[in-house]
Structure 1
Amino acid sequence: MNALDYVKQFNGFLWNDFLMYVLLAVGIFYTIYLGFPQIRHFGLMFKYAFGPAFKRRKKRDKHAKQDEAHKVNSFQALATAVAAQVGTGNIGGVATAIATGGVGAIFWMWVSSLLGMGTIFSEATLAQKYREVKDGGVAGGPAYYISKGLKCHPLAVFFALAIILALGCVGNMVQANSISIAIVNSLGTGPDTMAYLPYLIGVALALLVGVVIMGGQKRITAIAELVVPFMALIYILGSLVVLFLYIGDVPHMFQSVVSEAFSTKAAAGGAAGTVMKYAIRYGVARGLFSNEAGMGSTPHAHAMAHVKDPAIQGFVAMAGVFVDTILICSSTAFVIMLTGAYQGTDLKSVAITQEAFSRAFGSGGVTFLAIALFFFAFTTIMGWYMFGEMNVRYLFGKYGVLPFRLIVCGCIFCGCIFAADLVWELADTFNGLMAIPNLIAIVCLAPQVRKMYTHFLQRLRSGEL
């Protein structure tokens, strides 16, 4: 076997036989341990997540305005987290889940997202408690609550190194490659142009990302606050148009989702097991991979928020899972199921979604999806860069930031001009490796999470919040 085969084999064990079940178990644990907060306090998610976006700005003196300008509110932190969560997986990953696990996978994707809300609540709350303000910015995340809360510096260093490689370098190469492929396919240019177009895209994308990340946290959160709500809304509206066009098939679609989610029929194609087994496997995996609950990535964004209580940002983080999986992933799923793009075809991943939008809107649908894919992947690059930078600061201080920025821009250029299967597999490997220390930490620190949650509820009942 070559290197790619070994990495694939390792990833098969890491994800399919281990991490998927651990992530699901941690979600079940926190949901029960905290008393189903995602259901009991569903309204608080939206109050704390979207309230700051509509809050009127009160008149303040000059010094207060300057101080406020440097603070990140809970909505900006949410936008940055969703920027990282919503990526190519929301388009291609959902298609793969349906094609492999059947339409019943969507039901189990919803279940896993509901459980993931409990996990991500713990991550965001701990990130708030152990964050640090230094070098003119806020730093936080698993490396900080592992070293300060769990008091295990070697494990924190392992996490920091893994996430720098997983998201900042290898992961951003994958996202850049998706952008390059989407643009080339949508333009449909001749062979001569196709040869050098990826190089032009690579240079342009690396420069664009460089301009954004050189502005630091403030610029990234400002752009995320503007772009993320817009891109999410446009994509969801486009999917709603498809629902309207196929309105007569919608009841049957939901009936199929529920019936196949619990079907005991034998799986098609000679696969061992029932339809339900594969629906659970691929639905749960899609939900967990997409919203990143338990992975240790989004706590970095939630650490930046200035809130009155750590638990408030926990509710905001739960809203991020809702937006990513229940709204955006479901939008993709509905378009694919209603148009039947996953049936009787050899298409895979993003190509299935492209076919679905093409059936609904013609060639305009392919262009629409290419634009959506660009924004999804670009905002993911911004979010992942920021998460990587926080861990660079943790390991090397402010002196490691500029070299890291240059490396990220180089990785983005390389990702546009070639697509190595090994790079895609390594992204999964490092994602798994960074999740392990984070999961250890949030389970061991669970009593602290419940204490903060209980204290929040006491303050809420007393009218203090």
Structure 2
Amino acid sequence: MGEFLTNTIGQVNNILWSYVLIAVLVGVGLYFGFITRFVQIRYFKTMFKLLGEGAGKAITQKNKNHVSSFQAFCISTASRVGTGNMAGVAIAIAAGGPGAVFWMWVIAIIGGASSFVESTLAQIYKVKDGNGGYRGGPAYYMEQGLNKRWLGIIFSILITVSFGLVFNSVQANTISVAFEGAFGVNKLIVGIGLIILTSIIIFGGVKRIAQAAEAIVPVMAVAYVLMALFVVIRNINLVPHMFNLIVTSAFGIRPFVGAAIGTTIMMGIKRGLFSNEAGMGSAPNAAATAEVTHPVKQGFIQTLGVYTDTILICSCTAFIILLSGVYTEPNLTGIQLTQKALSSQVGSWGNTFIAICIFLFAYSSIIGNYYYGETNIEFIKANKGWLLAYRIAVLGMVIFGTVAKVQIVWDMADLFMAFMALINLGAIAMLGKVAFAALKDYEVQFKQGKDPHFNKNSIPNLENIECWDK
């Protein structure tokens, strides 16, 4: 019975993740892109400007319970950027060749439009929490925008189980394996240490989560980018050849051994979608926490999060692997490929560096994923006992992940995440006109030379709005 269940879930996941989800995510992303005249490209410079302003406000903010736009960006980036940015990209290149990187970039640009819409909606329909801050996300705009609370509850359960519990266990497992391999540390010891570090953050509320993400994300991103930059400079004469290889392989002009053009495209699209989570309903939970004057501003910033994850961090891994040349070696994939590629460039201490990066990437994902579960439990309006039980369950799954790996658990999480994404994509497709109207309002004010401000009357006939009275 157990084997039958495992095989059935595996087959369903293969259909959903290899065909259905990719088609829907790409289709919805292209639709949003055309309707908004590719907002994810037109406002690229504005994204950086707003992020810089948010970073300043994170220091000078008067209301200590509020989360700045920069901190909200860090929470979502903490969850997006995980071990998949190192292991997943390596798998894509090993299976699909260098051309997979090109399609990874393309899907990030397409997905940017979906990220903009879902994050803008999260801001419009956010609610006040009991501590003077904000909460929101897909469950909230399903209830207030679509008047379908039941759908929001289903979404809340799916994201809490998949992100808050199981995926955190996966991240913990990756940390324990990396530390055991690099430093010889017992997995149980790693698990106990993770529980202590995680407890300090998750029992401190969203503000402490935001502060932790704000501290970890820039450090881990800068360190990894600098290492990749070192490898690029070290092999600067090979860079033109690398880009030529990426482009020619992407269109089958220079085929990769064992990878047909279809495999190359599929691996690049899957890696990009799985990594940046655009349109999947996770990042909007973080986007809703931000204190901004207009919802569109956070939509822009979260779109930049997609680019940060895929075009910046994933590309760093790709460049390290491609410039090293070790990707052509047989039976080498995943994190082992990334480790060998870096070690070939900087020496044996590359393994240690990767282990540290894995810790920062995975630990930041744990606290980001935890918050997604917390805000959705709050949506269900469960009592404080349920929130405590959830926190204990998170810690339990962290320790479980460091010492064990049960395939059926991971497969169930993939299944839950697939349904979660399909529900969210349906919701933002139906509510897209609200985000489009918000964008139009922003553009009108911006063209008038104003700093755009939003209120619930900015969009005619907008109902069930709690946080935009002024």
Equivalent of residue 404 in structure 2, options 418, 423, 432: 418
Deviation at 1:427, TM superposition (A): 2.4
In structure 1, the partner of 2:169 is: 173
One-letter amino acid of the structure 2 residue matched with residue 173 of structure 1: S
One-letter amino acid of the structure 1 residue matched with residue 152 of structure 2: A
In structure 2, the partner of 1:74 is: 69
Equivalent of residue 455 in structure 1, options 421, 441, 459: 441
SS in 2 for 1:2: helix
Kept after mapping to 1: 8 A contact 2:58/2:70: no
Equivalent of residue 250 in structure 2, options 252, 261, 267: 261
Deviation at 1:267, TM superposition (A): 6.8
In structure 2, the partner of 1:37 is: 39
The RMSD of aligned alpha carbons is 1.5
SS in 2 for 1:68: coil
* Aligned equivalents of 2:46, 2:345: Cα separation in 1: 37
* Aligned equivalents of 2:6, 2:196: Cα separation in 1: 31
* Aligned equivalents of 2:159, 2:58: Cα separation in 1: 37
* Aligned equivalents of 2:65, 2:32: Cα separation in 1: 33
* Aligned equivalents of 1:315, 1:441: Cα separation in 2: 20
* Aligned equivalents of 2:48, 2:352: Cα separation in 1: 32
Deviation at 1:91, TM superposition (A): 0.5
Task: Determine whether 1:153 maps to 2:154.
Answer: no
Deviation per CA, 1:369-402, whole angstroms, max 9, x where unpaired?
Answer: 0000100000000000001000111113352211
Task: Determine whether 1:144 maps to 2:140.
Answer: yes
Deviation at 1:53, TM superposition (A): 1.5
Equivalent of residue 101 in structure 2, options 95, 100, 106: 106
One-letter amino acid of the structure 2 residue matched with residue 382 of structure 1: I
Please say which of residues 242-251 and 380-389 is displaced more in the overlay.
Answer: 242-251
TM-score, with normalisation over the residues of structure 2? 0.92
One-letter amino acid of the structure 2 residue matched with residue 30 of structure 1: F
Deviation at 1:265, TM superposition (A): 6.8
Deviation per CA, 1:323-368, whole angstroms, max 9, x where unpaired?
Answer: 1111100000000111122212212211111111111112110000
Kept after mapping to 2: 8 A contact 1:156/1:437: no
One-letter amino acid of the structure 1 residue matched with residue 168 of structure 2: N
SS in 2 for 1:342: helix
Percent identical pairs in the alignment equals 41
One-letter amino acid of the structure 1 residue matched with residue 126 of structure 2: R
Kept after mapping to 2: 8 A contact 1:206/1:413: yes
In structure 2, the partner of 1:238 is: 227
Deviation at 1:428, TM superposition (A): 1.5
> How many residues are matched?
447
One-letter amino acid of the structure 2 residue matched with residue 440 of structure 1: G
Matches within 5 A, 1:59-70: 67-70=62-65
Question: Which runs of 5 or more structure 1 residues have no equivalent in the other structure?
Answer: 59-64
Task: Determine whether 1:127 maps to 2:122.
Answer: yes
* Aligned equivalents of 1:308, 1:119: Cα separation in 2: 21
Kept after mapping to 2: 8 A contact 1:174/1:423: no
SS in 2 for 1:297: coil
**Distance change in 2, residues 1:384/1:453 (3 Å):** same
Deviation at 1:424, TM superposition (A): 2.5
* Aligned equivalents of 1:200, 1:451: Cα separation in 2: 52
Equivalent of residue 344 in structure 2, options 359, 383, 390: 359
In structure 1, the partner of 2:329 is: 344
**Distance change in 2, residues 1:56/1:260 (3 Å):** closer
Kept after mapping to 2: 8 A contact 1:163/1:388: yes
Deviation at 1:421, TM superposition (A): 2.2
One-letter amino acid of the structure 2 residue matched with residue 154 of structure 1: W
One-letter amino acid of the structure 1 residue matched with residue 43 of structure 2: H
